Chain A
Amino acid sequence: MTTSITESRVSRKAARPSGAPGGRRPKKLGRYFAMSPGLLFLAALSLYPTLYSLVVSFTRWNLSSGEAARFVGVDNFVGLLTDGLFWNSVRVTLVFVFFSVLIELALSFGLALLFFRGFPGDKLLRALIMMPMLCAPVVVGLLARFSLEPTYGIVNQLMRSIGLPTTEFLGNVDLALPTLIAIDVWQWTPFLFLILLAAMQGLPEEVIEASKIDGASWPRIIWHQFLPLLRYPILVGVLLRLIDSFRVYDIVYMTTRGGPVDATSTMSWQIYNVGFRAFNISYAAAFSWLLLLLVLLAANSLMRRMVARS
């Protein structure tokens, strides 16, 4: 399947210019043979569709009309840039991504600090705290609707019990997006928490020892010793959350359907609407390219650092 290690050590020792051992080429071929099915599969499902999508985005093509696609140049992109719903979805997405990732990072860092010095039962709590992020977002959406339901929902019941008024969280134009952010924070803070906790537990012994001395130096230790050493895990965690929150769709589908009045119409949701409900597939393709550019813009530098580190 691949070059055996004995072989490669021998070949490393062997004087390179005098020619590689005869057995090397077939082994090398074996390596590519092993990699080829996976790589071909990935290429087939990414390169061709990407180009196809790009071509489609320069056409006018509505799947419901039965007419063939017609080349229209940059019409779709011009249309998008003057489309209020497009800009609305960009704003909604950026607000959602920014606040959910920021809040998740802050909360999970605090939680990880709370857990990492250990206490009886911490392993059990750590296992339990994972439950939200393991629920399918679709299940979380249903649960959120039930929890926030005005009459029977647990949130409104608790609010009433301390004298607060019954609130329609998902049906209120001003509250719907913050509520979606809260749902995302609830589901995904444990994810960043687990990553940060594991990273903190892997810190060098001296740093951990220093942190155990209680006193006023705590914030300084965190700032000067923890943060620099935790930069890479934070980078990876934030990158993954960033990528995933840009695609938020399931929760929107199950709770607000983009409403009320487009207040929660994220880009993924809007593209789905345009492409698979209005069947304006060419407009949706152009739209999705702009989403991809936005995600690349946001994630690219982080991604490069992650690849460089590994």
Chain B
Amino acid sequence: MSVAHRRSINWNVGVRAAVAVICTFLFIAPVLWMVTTAFKTGNQAFSGEIHWFFTPTLENFNEVLGGTRLTYALINSLQVSVISSVVAILLASGIAYPLARHEFRGRDQIAGTILSLRIVPPIVTIIPLFLVMRTIGLNGSLLSIIILHVFMNLPLAVWLLRGFYEDVPKEIEEAGAIDGLGNIGIFFRMVLPLAMPGVASTALLCFVFSWNEFLFASVLSNAGSQTVTVALTQYVTPVGTEWTLIMAAGTVVAVPVWLAALAAQKYLVRGLSLGAVK
């Protein structure tokens, strides 16, 4: 009886694993195809058959990264994403830490209002902000994109950091106060280091959202301030069989995000659900 029972469980595990592998493959097959195509020569990619095994070439990457629009865009995107994430974390910490630590009048209203900004579609935001940026002469600059990306990421960062600061035991602050640290000292020298894994994950998520953002960057950038997503639009009407290049470009843009997500994996679900699921 118990042997039969165990066998049925094992069988179940096997079936579940097999079905899960098939499902996972359906989701990653296009991505695998993109990455493999990026390593193919034109002949390998366009023979009319699917080759999963072939001799890889770096030709496409050399061409895509060799001083093209995409190379400059990568540098722009790196600046925009890193700066906007750091600024978002700093501004959000200022809001999130008091929200996490103190009960005061209007606290829930502040938190709720900040979260509700997440609802507003970016196309609604960009119309007036484009006009404002145009008036003050900032459109076309990286700074204008950075400002909008900070704005875009702040609600997320506030909600996540609030949770991470709540997780820091309150006794730490008492210890800090006994050691004679001021509030700023307590925050930067005791709370922040303890909350660091969460804070770093939040920063990585901000980085990902900024890196992947398209609408703000496309409206506000000019030829010199294109981010990677904007630079990719040059491939939207492919000429002939440029696809191997395009897939190399897509891979180059996707890889930093995969790495960032890998680094933030522990808190990824918490971050993506705005802290609702831990």
Contacts and interface: CB of A to CB of B under 8 A. Distances in A.
Interface of A: 1-8, 27-28, 30-31, 34-39, 41-42, 45-46, 48-50, 52-53, 56, 111, 114-115, 117, 119-122, 125, 127-132, 134-139, 142-147, 149, 151-152, 154, 157-158, 186, 189-191, 194-195, 197-199, 202, 214, 232-233, 236-237, 240, 243, 246-247, 249-250, 253-254, 267-268, 271-272, 275-276, 281, 284-285, 288-289, 291-292, 295-296, 299, 303, 306-307, 309-310
Nearest to B258: A134
Interface string B224-259: 000011001101101001010011011001100110
A114 B110 contact: no
B158 interface: yes
A15 to B, nearest CB: 18
Contact of B123 (A7, A131, A151, A268): A268
Task: Please report whether the interface of chain A is mostly helix, strand, loop or mixed according to DSSP.
Answer: helix
A275 B127 contact: yes
Which 10 pairs, one residue from A and one from B, show the smallest C-beta to C-beta distance? A49-B128, A136-B212, A38-B91, A236-B276, A53-B128, A1-B183, A119-B17, A247-B121, A34-B94, A288-B124
A273 to B, nearest CB: 11
A137 B253 CA distance: 11
Contact of A136 (B31, B117, B214, B246): B214
Interface in B1-51: 8-9, 12-14, 16-17, 19-21, 23-24, 27-31, 33-34, 37, 45-46, 48-50
B250 A186 contact: no
Interface string B185-212: 0110000000000000000000010011
B31 to A, nearest CB: 5
Contact of A303 (B45, B115, B176): B115
A199 B276 CA distance: 9
A202 B186 contact: no
B183 A3 contact: yes
A191 B272 contact: yes
Contact of A117 (B16, B243, B273): B16
A292 B108 contact: no
A142 B246 contact: yes
A285 B123 contact: no
A148 B159 CA distance: 39
